[in-house]
Amino acid sequence: MDLITTNVDTEDEEKAYEIILHGIETRMNERIMIRTFGAMRTNDEATQGYYLVKWIMEPYTVQKDMVMKGVEPHQSTFAGEIICDIVFWNPVPNTTD
């Protein structure tokens, strides 16, 4: 018997994926407390993947597309995304995915 696999992306699957991601995002946002610390993953090649950060305000939903301030290289965020203002402290050594 030959098994054939396909990758079928339906609108229902995409909607389910969006709902799951929104649930994860909501749970993560509920754990952020102002003036506490966390580790944030980054694509910055100068680090080993994570920064120690301090949350300085509650997460909020972006109302319009914008370029984020204080981030190099420049990155954009889009309307509907949830972001949180932070202070970068330092890279977390010896971390990998």
The pTM score is 0.60
pLDDT at 54: 92
Residue 79: partners with Cβ closer than 8 Å, 6 or more residues away: 62, 63, 64, 65
Cβ–Cβ < 8 Å for 68, 91 = no
The pairing of strands 76-77 and 86-91 is unpaired
pLDDT of 52-70, one tens digit each? Answer: 889 998 888 899 999 988 7
pLDDT at 1: 53
Q: Is the pLDDT of residue 2 over 60?
A: no
Higher pLDDT, 66 or 71: 66
Q: What gap in Å lies between CA 30 and CA 85, rounded to an integer? A: 15
**Helices vs strands, H then E, count in the chain:** 1, 7
pLDDT at 97: 56
pLDDT of 9-47, one tens digit each? Answer: 678 888 888 888 888 888 888 888 889 988 887 776 766
For the chain, what are the domain ranges? 33-97
Higher pLDDT, 26 or 5: 26
